[in-house]
A = this chain, B = another copy of it.
Amino acid sequence: MSDLNAALDAADAGVEAGLARLFELIRIPSVSADPARVGDVRRAADWLAADLASMGFEASVRPTGGHPMVVAHDQGAPSGAPHVLFYGHYDVQPEDPIDLWHADPFTPELLPQPDGETWITGRGASDDKGALMTFVEACRAWKAATGALPCRVSILLEGEEEITSPSLGPFLEATQGELKADTVLVCDTDMWDRETPAITTMMRGLASEEFTIRSADRDLHAGIFGGAARNALQVMADVLASLRRPDGKVAIEGFYADVAELPQETADIWASLPFDDAAFLGGVGLSIPAGEADRSVLEQVWARPTFEVHGIWGGYSGEGFKSIVVGEAHAKVSFRLVADQDPEAVRAAFRAHVEAQLPGDCTVSFKRLGAAAPVMMPTDSPMLRQALEGLRDEWGKAAVAGTGGSIPILAEFRERLGMDALLVGFARFDNRVHSPNEKYDLSSYVRGTRSWVRILDKFANGAG
């Protein structure tokens, strides 16, 4: 039996034990946004370092200004083998609204589905605990089958991805010599569909912001002041409405100046993809594309910049009715960015737009939440071709090179270490990541692990 086949067999034989490990990890509520869970986030880091150490990695939990990093190295690969750095994140999104979950978010289960699939349920089942464990389990399978990994593998797992990775840049800077490798592998993206693997080569960037609009210096009795006093909530609604044109375009002056059209080659490939708008939107209860009217749904979600409101709050939201003219309104918003758009330039233009909308006796204050530049990966590297071959061998069909959501860390790896990333993901569109009832398909987990086993083999054998 070839080493590859032995490692694939070991991966299959290890599924049950691997799921038990994944369940342990999901049970730790490592919500990075919640200050009350700082101990849980740390516990997830400790758990991962211990697991990696148990299979022979030199593993450690490293402090940062925020949540810690898990760093692990394996030195057992043949001399001259390529060096890969696997990146994942062990923090998860907040679970709220909790009342929409069908079961406890941190009590994972295996749920058989009518279509023959089985779901692994729980917050982080897909994003990113389930996904990162496919790579860890692939390493375990290689070691179990052959005693060693075919490539030199380093692993970096962070605990702040869901809060825009504030510590990652400084950490990469400080550990530069240690984490530099031939490529970064990331497992945090989607498949094209259940049967078709995908490698993501374009990622939208991000600029996120919180802001507060103030009108009167207190909430006022609407029976006395209503009509003459400016209502901060009305101003907030007017401002948010003013940011988006009826045709779905962002209404900020100059917003599209740095937005390039897709390369013709990519546009042609996308046009040929069997993307079903109705199924994509219908799966979440929608039917009318909300984005730029002159763009396809695929362009809207993959290639075009967006403006999104993530939260609004202000005034009275309790039982019954409170007759007030509201003095203070809050919102969280973000922009997804593409091509040459600069997050800080977009942020400045956004702030100028809001200020220009304000009545003269209102004020606004802004709070920067996060930023990431858009990223385009090279589409002609040998390691990309090797990864595509590994996926084709596992899935029996060619992988699609597509685009996806912002993964802000990609710009950090490029800027700090000069490394591009290979984004190989096994998640599905309907995984409800960031939503109640997150799940990961068991087939994503099993065949994802097998895919990594194959990709490491392809890297080790070079060429491609």
Task: Give residues in A with beta carbon < 8 Å to B.
Answer: 32-35, 93-94, 96-97, 100, 127, 162-164, 190, 204, 206, 208, 210, 215-231, 233-234, 236-238, 240-242, 244, 280-281, 284-292, 297, 300-301, 304, 306, 308-327, 329-330, 332, 334, 336, 359-361, 369-370, 404-406, 429, 432-437
Contacts and interface: CB of A to CB of B under 8 A. Distances in A.
Given A240-B237, A287-B361, A301-B226, A308 B336 contact: no
A94 B322 contact: yes
Contact of A370 (B242, B321, B404): B321
A290 to B, nearest CB: 4
Contact of A230 (B238, B240, B286, B318): B286
Contacts of A317: 311-313, 330, 332
B312 A223 contact: no
Given A217-B284, A360-B287, A223 B204 contact: yes
Contacts of A405: 221-224, 226, 323
B244 A241 contact: no
Contacts of A97: 219
A223 B330 contact: no
A223 B404 contact: yes
Given A281-B229, A312-B329, A434 B290 contact: no
Contacts of A233: 240, 309-312
A114 B334 CA distance: 47
A332 B314 CA distance: 11
A8 B362 CA distance: 47
> Which among A33, A96, A220 has the highest number of chain B CB atoms within 10 Å?
A220
Nearest to A100: B218
A315 B206 CA distance: 18
Given A221-B405, A300-B228, A318-B96, A435 B369 contact: no
B304 A227 contact: yes
A224 B190 contact: yes
Contacts of A241: 234, 237-238, 240-242
Contacts of A292: 227
Given A223-B406, A323-B405, 7 more contacts: A215-B285, A224-B433, A230-B286, A230-B290, A236-B312, A312-B313, A315-B332
A242 B246 CA distance: 12
18 contacts: A33-B318, A204-B223, A210-B321, A219-B436, A220-B284, A220-B435, A222-B334, A222-B336, A223-B406, A226-B308, A226-B405, A227-B336, A233-B311, A234-B244, A281-B361, A285-B361, A308-B325, A321-B369
Nearest to A208: B321
Q: Which of A240, A327, A334, A437 has the most CB of B within 10 A?
A: A240
A222 B306 CA distance: 9
A287 to B, nearest CB: 4
A306 B227 contact: yes
Contacts of A218: 100, 284-285, 432, 435-437
A163 B33 CA distance: 37
A214 to B, nearest CB: 8
Contact of A226 (B236, B289, B306): B306
Contact of A288 (B34, B230, B288, B326): B230
A98 to B, nearest CB: 12
Nearest to A233: B309
Contact of A216 (B100, B164, B285): B285
A306 B234 CA distance: 12
A76 to B, nearest CB: 36
B228 A284 contact: no
B310 A228 contact: no
A411 to B, nearest CB: 15
Nearest to A97: B219
